[in-house]
């Protein structure tokens, strides 16, 4: 069974609600183990065993949350191999971001760091500080799209 990892940080609850909407979308496709973890709880073993990843963060000071950056810092070297290269190369990835200025600066920081991991970013959802039903539906669709793409990659 394929595993999709959802890693996120949320203080106000907005990004957490987005994470659960992404999870709902993945579950609509079925036949996936979905591992939902706050960034400080996720580790390299979660990442190494995933077929796809969804990463969510608020936009703090035009950057991703510190705990999300810490997740990347803690897992980068353990998922590298001198022989095989990046163990996360071409791992399918989606992002979801919320921020007072629309979240775009944090999204750009996620895109940059994903290049080091060699993730294959297929889509993302960005919203302001207030969550709407439309954004939640877009997050459900984001999860569904990730799951379908992982499934079709097999």
Residues 6+ apart with CB under 8 A from 24: 140, 143
The DSSP output letter for 138 is H
Residue 81 token pair = 């191999």
CB atoms within 10 A of CB 6: 27
Give the Å distances, CA to CA, from 43 to 57, 90, 92: 17, 19, 18
Q: Quickly tell me which residue has 């060699």 as its tokens.
A: 118
What's the angle, vertex CA 11, arms to CA 7 and CA 124, rounded to 5? 45
CB atoms within 10 A of CB 52: 25
What is the Cα 88 distance to its own chain's centre? 13
The β-bridge relationship of strands 80-81 and 2-8 is unpaired
For residue 151, pLDDT beyond 80: yes
Q: Are the C-beta atoms of residues 26 and 143 closer than 8 Å to each other?
A: yes
- What pLDDT band is residue 85 in, cutting at 50, 70 and 90? confident
pLDDT top residue among 88 and 84? 88
- What pLDDT band is residue 101 in, cutting at 50, 70 and 90? confident
- What pLDDT band is residue 82 in, cutting at 50, 70 and 90? confident
Coil, strand or helix: which one is 37? strand
- Domain at 2-141: CATH code: 3.40.50.360
pLDDT tens per residue across span 39-80:
999 999 999 999 999 999 999 999 999 999 999 999 999 998
């Amino acid at each position: 069974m394929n595993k999709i990892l959802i890693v996120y940080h949320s203080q106000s609850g907005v990004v957490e609600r987005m994470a659960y909407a992404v999870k709902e979308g993945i579950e609509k496709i079925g036949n996936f183990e979905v591992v939902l973890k706050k960034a400080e709880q996720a580790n390299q073993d979660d990442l190494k065993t995933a077929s796809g990843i969804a990463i969510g963060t608020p936009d703090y000071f035009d950057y991703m949350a510190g705990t999300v950056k810490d997740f990347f810092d803690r897992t980068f070297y353990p998922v590298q191999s001198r022989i095989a290269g990046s163990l996360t190369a071409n791992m399918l990835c989606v992002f979801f971001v919320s921020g007072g200025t629309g979240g775009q600066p944090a999204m750009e920081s996620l895109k940059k760091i994903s290049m080091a991991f060699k993730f294959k970013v297929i889509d993302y959802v960005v919203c302001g500080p207030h969550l709407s039903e439309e954004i939640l539906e877009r997050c459900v669709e984001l999860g569904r799209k990730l799951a379908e793409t992982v499934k079709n990659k097999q």
